[in-house]
Structure formats: structure tokens, C-alpha cells
Amino acid sequence: MNDYPRRITLQEWDAHYVQLREAGMREPPYGGTLRRHVEEGDLRLRTLLFDNSSAALRLWNFLLTEEDRLREARTAGKKIVGTMKDLGTVPVMAYALPNVVAFYPDGAWWIPCVMELSEGLFGIADSLGIDEAFCPVRAMLGAFITEAHFPVPDLLICSAGATCDDFSAIAQRLNGLGYPIVWWEIPHRRIPDPDEERVELPGGFAAPASQVAFVREELERLRTVLEQFAGVPLNDGALSAGIARANEVRRLLAELRQLTFTAELCPLPALEMLIAEMLAIHFCSDQAETIEVLRELLREVRGRVEARQGVLEADAVRVFWVNPVADLQVMNLLEDCGGRICGTEYLFSHALDEIPENLPPMEALARMALADPMVGSAADRAARICADTRRFGAEAVLISRIPGASHCATEGIIIAEAVRSRLRIPVLEIEVPPLSDSIKPMLRTRLEALIETSKELRKTCCVPE
């Protein structure tokens, strides 16, 4: 069955699913209609637009069945490690071990949006003294208490040091509630002094060799913790194999991003791209399946690019998006207003950059951990955003502020100034709550203004330096 690519509603997916099945679509065991997730409480799906490919269906089903996968892993006797905050480093180590599954409880961030606040997680966080002055990651506390969204991990590992105040405070509260956490420290990445040995990191940042050595020691400490947890050695050979598997995911994503962000016609909507990128941080609790899901998505995108087919208008404005959006619906809204995503920085670009395979594995992982855009200065982050905006040819930058997030108070100004002065393209900063329906008209007006301004600029042929 060869449908023209387009974004469709949940209701349209109901009929489309039947047609795809009749046409012979084969699905993995977690397959099925999108509608069933609504019946299980994922109410936000009713208002979203989805890509109409079977590859996208598989992606959504893979994402929305993670809780089942974790519970099955526990039943099968696998050990579950909850990795927190570092977004991409410790899972590479954990998945190098047999019989261990790692996931980020931080992912509870999106539960209030996906379940349209029906789950009451923010109320539980409130009752524990973690109110709306904190970012939506506070939902994680409620998810631990209710145990309704993921099994409580057998081991919790969390990065500390150069982390946001929000996560630091929430993780400490969790620890105090009787969920013991193994902490490891990531220092604030600084520019090496002129007389200091300098190490280039994946993604383009640099750090003093002494900081890399410090992180390496911290990761060595975690290696011992994980070995004792799993009851098997985590030697360099296993780690190198784990890095190679993580890199396979990263290479697939790199091609997917390159093709999607640079194609003449946008071959895949923003929402599906966001989810695909998120798979990099902990492989949605199944590394091998992540690779298969991404391969299918990439095949779809390659086919669309070759056939010169897209899901949006040809003149859609190319927008670079900064920060994950608390309400997924706003990714649709940007496209409804005439934009398309051409570049992203969702707080975990270090989980997308390839990990060096020509170094001892712990050295490679330490360099990757220090390449986290959130452990350095906002100026560093702005520099990377400018470089990637230029690389993907984006015409505007949209900074999506996260309610309550400590880093969002000032970084938007720094990033916006850097983009304006270096690239001379429009920048818009918006704040998006987990449910944005009440402010949707205002968001629409602001997004439309960004799109209009960018289209006007096309006429003046303003080429960034």
C-alpha cells in the first residue's frame, strides 16, 4: 500500500490501520492501533497529528509500550537500573552487561502531557514540597510513589555536580524518601587554560585533560557498582562492544537527521523526529529493537526523499528548535503555522554524537559525558546551536522555555543574542506548559509571526556569515 506521506489524526489512523493490515503490514509483538493507548490513558494522542507510515506507527508503539517492556524485563529476571540526569552515558555502560535493562525515570517528564494531567503526578510532587517552581521532571517523584508508570528500579544512579538545581533537588528528595541513589559527579566543563593539556570532545567542545581524567575515575567507580549489581565483570571488551552498539543507533539517527533536516521537502514530521532522537538516550529499554525501529524509519525517509515526497508545504520555514517541548502538541502547531524542524538541541546532543571508538572505552565515555551541552556554559551551548543551525540551513531559531526550569531563566537571552549576532536570523522564545491548550491562540500568533518574518527575510536574501 503506497499512501502519499501526510500527517493524520488519531481518528484517521483507526481506518488507516485497518487498511495497512489488509495490505499485509507486519508488526512486532508490541504493535497494534494507536487508539488502544488512549484507552490506557494516553489521552493527548487524541489531539496530535501523526505521520501516516507504518514505520511511524512502529515508532509510536515502541515508545508507548516501554512500561510493559520494563515489567516484562523484571518478570524475566532481568535487573533494572534507573539512570538519572546524564542523558546518554550510563545506559551505554549498563547495556554492555547481559541481563541488565536501563531507563531514565526522568522520562516521567512527559507523563502529565501524554495523560493530560489525569494521572495526578504533579499533585503528589506538590505534596512532597516540590511544586511548580520546579520543571516538569518533578512528575518523576509521583511516578516513584504510585509505581503506576514504571517498576521501581533495582538500582538508581544519578549524576550530580554540574546539573540543574531542579534535578538535583528532586533527586535528593527521592533519596530522602527511601530510594537510595548512587551519585557520580560531573564537573562544570570549563575552557582549558592556555598552559593546560586540552582534550577535544565529541560534538566540538573542549575540556581540560584533568576534567576528563576526573570523569573517567567517576565512571570507573560506576563500573564497579554495575559489576557488583549485575554479578558479572564489565570489562573493556564488553564496554567497547556496548559503545559500538550505541554508535550504531547514533549513526542511524545522524543519517535520519541529516536527510530530514536538509531535504527539499520535509520527509518526516517534527513529532516523529523528536521521538526518534529520544531513543538515543536509553534505547527505550530495548537496544536491539531501537536499531530495527530506526532502520525502518530511515528506509521510509530515504524512499520519500528519493520520490521527492514530503509531509509539509514546500515553502515551510526551516526552524531550529531548542529544548524539548513540554506539550507535544506544539510540535504540530509549528508545522500548522508553516514551519518545519531543521535542527534540534533537546538537551542531549551528546547522546547523538558518535562516541570515539579509537580510544580506551572509559576515556571515550568520559569525553562523551563532558560533551553534555548542559554541563558547560550557556555560551558554549549557544555556540553549538549556532554551528548546527548553520549546518542544517535553518532560517529561524525557536527557544522553547520549560516552565520552572532553572536553566531557562537566563540561557534563552544568551542563546538568542548569539544567534542574532552570528547568524542574523529571527529568534523566538516561547514558554510551553505540559498542557498548552489555554494559550494555544497566543502561541499560534507568535509562531505565525516568526514564520512570516522568516519568509520576508527570504526576499532580502540575507545570507548568514
Residues that bind ligand SF4 (CB under 6 A): 135, 137, 164, 166-167, 347, 374, 402, 405-407
Nearer to ligand SF4, 109 or 392 (CB): 109
Angle at 225 between CA 190 and CA 156, to 5 degrees: 80
Residue 354 CA to residue 364 CA, distance in Å, equals 10
CB of 308 to ligand SF4, least distance (A): 37
Do the beta carbons of residue 327 and residue 113 sit within 8 Å?
yes
Q: Cβ 6 to ligand SF4, closest distance in Å? A: 32
C-alpha grid cell for residue 125?
Answer: 510532587
Give me the least distance between CB of 148 and ligand SF4, in Å please. Answer: 21
25 φ/ψ angles, rounded to the nearest 5 degrees? -60, 130
Contact 285, 242 (CB under 8 A): no
Task: Tell me the CA distances in angstroms from 357 to 288, 362, 363, one per residue in order.
Answer: 19, 11, 10
Residue closer to ligand SF4 (CB basis): 294 or 430: 430
Going by C-alpha positions, the residue among 320, 321, 319, 323 that lies closest to residue 409 is 323
Q: What is the DSSP string of 253-272?
A: HHHHHHHHHHSSS--S-HHH
Please, what is the minimum distance in Å from the beta carbon of residue 353 to ligand SF4? 18
Q: Assign residue 99 a region (left: φ > 0; alpha: ψ between -120 and 50; beta: otherwise).
A: left
- The cell numbers describing 89, all together, are 552515558
Q: How far is the CB of 35 from ligand SF4 (least distance, A)?
A: 30
By beta-carbon proximity to ligand SF4, the closer residue of 297 and 375 is 375
Query: Which residue, 296 or 372, is less far from ligand SF4 as judged by CB?
Result: 372
**Phi, psi of 288, rounded to the nearest 5 degrees:** -65, -40
Cα–Cα distance, 373 to 415 (Å, whole number): 12
Q: How far is the CB of 136 from ligand SF4 (least distance, A)?
A: 7
Closest separation in Å from C-beta 139 to ligand SF4: 11
Which residue's entry shows cell 520543571? Answer: 135
| Bridge partners, residue 165, by sequence | none
Residue placing its CB nearer to ligand SF4 in the complex, 364 or 430: 430
Q: What is the identity of the amino acid at 259?
A: L
Nearer of residues 157 and 164 to ligand SF4, judged by Cβ? 164
Choose between 405 and 443: whose C-beta lies nearer to ligand SF4.
Answer: 405
Nearest to 83 by CA among 165, 10, 6, 186: 186
Of 317 and 368, nearer to ligand SF4 (C-beta) is 368
**Least gap, CB of 384 to ligand SF4 (angstroms):** 16
CA-closest candidate to residue 270, choices 39, 417, 447 = 447
